[in-house]
Structure 1
């Protein structure tokens, strides 16, 4: 009888026990998280509404301000989001005050170049750190991580002296070079590369695949989601950068869009309508980029999540 008692219970016997445990936990107040209560549902939507107002509200206000005419009161309370005297004259005046499209082209060149170099070099560096074995690997990883501990303001002077010594001051290339590769981007791609089974890479090596073929046919299909995350954040960071282009560029003909927009807040044009119009012009490429790549962005975020 003791032997029979030690045998595992059959599914027919364990099922009623599981039902009793479910009822016990349900009586204790442990409900299904996928089916919230009415109070929880109201709380969720209230929180979502608050976040929506905090994040979308300023954008909508700036958009409405960019279309407001002289007859509109910009400082009314509560703020008016619908112009009573709508006009596109603000956008026309912005292009008359500064060469918006030339500055936007400069910013686009720098941001696009930074995206290409960051994605390509991060894939190569991430593959080397995650999938290759070589001497000094952990030293290289430590140096890479240590560069992230210093704030950007600490390295600005060193970067500026380097750019001046290379003769690249007041050039778009001088603005581009410091952002050509980022330590965080390399670590993100390395994290994605670690999810690739080593047996697959070893099998490709045995079959005679070169390093380039392994990266192209095995690594890239598995890290392209994370690469899209790198691309989006790199583009936004380079497009919105203000301090570094301001320090490198001295000729107004070479300004980027963010530096050129500073004129709109100067003594020549303190009109908030023009500032709002210039802000909308600067936001358009970012909105378009994220709209096109949002599917790959969320795929890359999911790849970087913890898997159980």
Structure 2
């Protein structure tokens, strides 16, 4: 048994090293001087670590359009933080009550609406982008953050995720609260939400990650460089600095590090919400 445990530990450790190697290389390349990563054979560790790539990326004026307009990546980071935070807060405010309503409340048309949601879940998001863009243009929301946020506020997967977790809450618990005179809002905020904490945190993490890393929809909906999110701004800079591997790896670190740290901080809730359903019935 001890030998099997040792072999299993070594196998898991080897797999972890293989998985982490690209991330470690990405960080190492971002700390290399210009041109060091393109030598042969390519180095894995920087001979002389430097933060010059990060200083250039965050503070220097970088030509991102091929013209006379200069652009810095710092504002794009702030744009992404604000947009992802708003998307998370507003998305939770809509999807969590909707998931609870589909699971525990009885109202006219609930079954039909649920079937419609299930049908929408299998439709690729790319199919709806053109109609969404035309609708946003019609109401004047193109090139605004409202236009970027609108399509994802009531995510179908979020509603279904919360509904599935809420079904595990015993009806007897909620009925007892109703008998005691508790309102539906009091039941939702005082009983359901505390039980759904791991699920809500997991959904918040998913929503934040999706908004933070979204590239295609902000690229379509935003035309003003001052409103660019981080992925769009990095793509714009990459067009002029495609061969600057060290600078691009610094951009990849800036994009990856916040969400990686956020995931590590909330992994306890994440695994509880995904594997355990978030509720003990």
Same fold by TM-score, threshold 0.5 exceeded?
yes
Shift of 1:183: 0.8
CA RMSD of aligned residues (A): 2.1
Name the count of aligned residue pairs.
Answer: 271
Contact 1:118/1:234 (8 A) holds in 2: yes
Equivalent residues in 2 for 1:45-84, closer than 5 Å: 45-70=9-34, 72-77=36-41, 79-84=42-47
Could you tell me which residue of structure 1 aligns to residue 259 of structure 2?
286
Task: Please tell me whether residue 181 in structure 1 is matched to residue 144 in structure 2.
Answer: no
Q: Report the equivalent of 1:162.
A: 135
Q: Which residue of 1 aligns with 2:91?
A: 118
Offset at 1:38? Answer: 2.4
State the 4+ residue runs in structure 1 displaced beyond 3 angstroms: 73-77, 305-308
Is the deviation greater in 79-88 or in 210-219? 79-88
**Which structure 2 residues correspond to residues 230-269 of structure 1 after superposition, within 5 A?**
230-268=203-241
What is the distance in 1 between the residues matched to 2:143 and 2:253? Answer: 27
Shift of 1:73: 4.2
Q: Which has the higher contact order (CA 8 A, sep 6+)?
A: 2
Task: Summarize the Cα distance change of 1:73–1:221 in structure 2 as closer, same or farther, 3 Å threshold.
Answer: closer
SS in 2 for 1:130: helix
CA distance in 1, matches of 2:181, 2:204: 31
- Per-residue deviation at 1:145? 0.8
Q: 1:195: Cα distance to partner? A: 1.2
Q: Give 1:306 shift.
A: 11
2: distance between equivalents of 1:41 and 1:136? 57
Structure exhibiting the larger radius of gyration computed from Cα positions = 1
In the TM superposition, what whole-angstrom CA distance separates every residue of 1:214-238 from its partner, at most 9, and x where no partner exists?
Answer: 0011100111101111111111111
Deviation at 1:55, TM superposition (A): 2.5
Tell me by how many angstroms 1:155 deviates: 0.8
Structure 2 stretches lacking a partner, 5+ long = 63-70
Q: Secondary structure at the match of 2:151?
A: helix
| Structure-1 residue corresponding to 2:179 | 206
- How far is 1:209 from its partner? 0.8
- Of 129-138 and 297-306, deviating more is 297-306
